[in-house]
Structure 1
Amino acid sequence: MGLIAVAELAAAQGATTTALGLAACWPEAEVVPVVVECDPAGGDLAARWDLSVRPGLAEAGGAAAAAEQPGPAALDAGTQAIAVAGRTVEVVCASLGGAEVAPALAVLAAPGSKALAAPDGWVVADAGRLDPHAPTWALLAAADCTVLVARADLEGLAHLRARLDALAGSLAGPIANRAIIALAPGTYTVDKATDLLRAAGVEIPVAGPVGRIRPVSPDPLGWRGKRALGAWHRLAAAVHAKALTGPPLALTAGAADTKELS
């Protein structure tokens, strides 16, 4: 099993939503990844889902610091359960200000730590926006797959291309080789976005577009909801394949896949 890092190269591209969507639609029927908020700018889950930030990342970091050899059990100290698209997902929330993120990551993602490497499960880490000196680079270096989120429109792809150029040194090598670009809803299809990025010299595989994830019951979602949910399942399958084997699955997505879940 392993670690998936979800990051964005510009603000408000949808990293947190993507992390939740991946966990809710993970292709292993008996395994639901734990979502851990690691955004240095602070977390969104507690506010969006009416949760407390305690227990959360601070408690998980404290449990890891107290352990002689930090392991996956450290995350148990900070998890809460929410229902996402009919599936129960455990999340580790960070506070709005994110003051605890850097200290917690210093322990959870330290060399030799296995806190984010569950032997029988997966962790999806929401790394937020990537900056040159962000404390989340250790997550990307250790991740089996890095998901870079960008809106599927001209502005979103322009930001992505500019930031990829600025962070070329940091994103080079193993991180780029095990990365996927996930498109948030916009005006472009995956084929159009892929063509534009390849013309700009970006060779990272592109997947999506996907919609928003809302708390829903296990009852049928209706045809629009099911179709939108299918886009999340395809993205999760591509990330899963990339994490296990390297090459992503071929993805196709029509305009209908960009609709929100109802």
Structure 2
Amino acid sequence: MTDAVLFDGVRLEHPGGRVVLSGVDLRIPAGAFVGLLGANGAGKTTLMRAILGLLPPRAGSIALFGRRAARGSNLVGYMPQMRAALSVSLSGRALVSAAVNGRRWGTALPVASRRREVDRVLELVGAEALASRPLDELSGGERQRLLLAQCLIGDPRLLLLDEPLNSLDPSRQAELVALVRRLQREHGITVLFSAHELNPLLGALDQVLYLAGGHAALGSVDSVVTSETLSRLYGAPIEVIRSGGRIFVLPGAPGLERAA
């Protein structure tokens, strides 16, 4: 089976020349739910931008389902971090509708087809009741459902979700993770789910992709989230503690940010 994402010797740099990731080789299998973890500034959003074709690698190559990653690919649905600008009187349906023609080249979809596509993705995420409500009356979890519907337009095979749990309470976090897991299983979608903390994702993950120190480690939670592996990535002592079904990643040296 073709890998959903293939990094071959990838080096990513910010426009100013700062190296974010170097020498990254990884294969994400099609249909997997992968948690993307790492401290702030580790390169999670940068990696997603590279997959989207918005940041070409300075070295190496990136392929999606056997094709070179390129800007505007209809293989990928992207859910960016929540923006304050969404707090407007735009309705839920209008927000999702705005993405329909943005996912297509050439002429716009006919009105009837556009309406059916919006209805389809709203139903997929259980957001039909949100369609007529203005965004500034919705909770953070409800807005995230609409943004998830938006990135499902056009049946993408890969979803990139950039820290969608930010600012959600634990119950809403659990609801969103369960929804994404259900969609992933029922539709065979590959999911790369970025998060600042590992624990909300534990029941859903097939693999974890951990970024630190310009490097990456991909594998099962038990093989990657260990003191040995994370200490190697960070180049400094890291302690991993498992307690009560939760995992805590703690710096073992002064000055290191809490890792997950």
TM-score (norm 1): 0.35
Higher helix share: 1
Higher strand share: 2
Larger Rg: 2
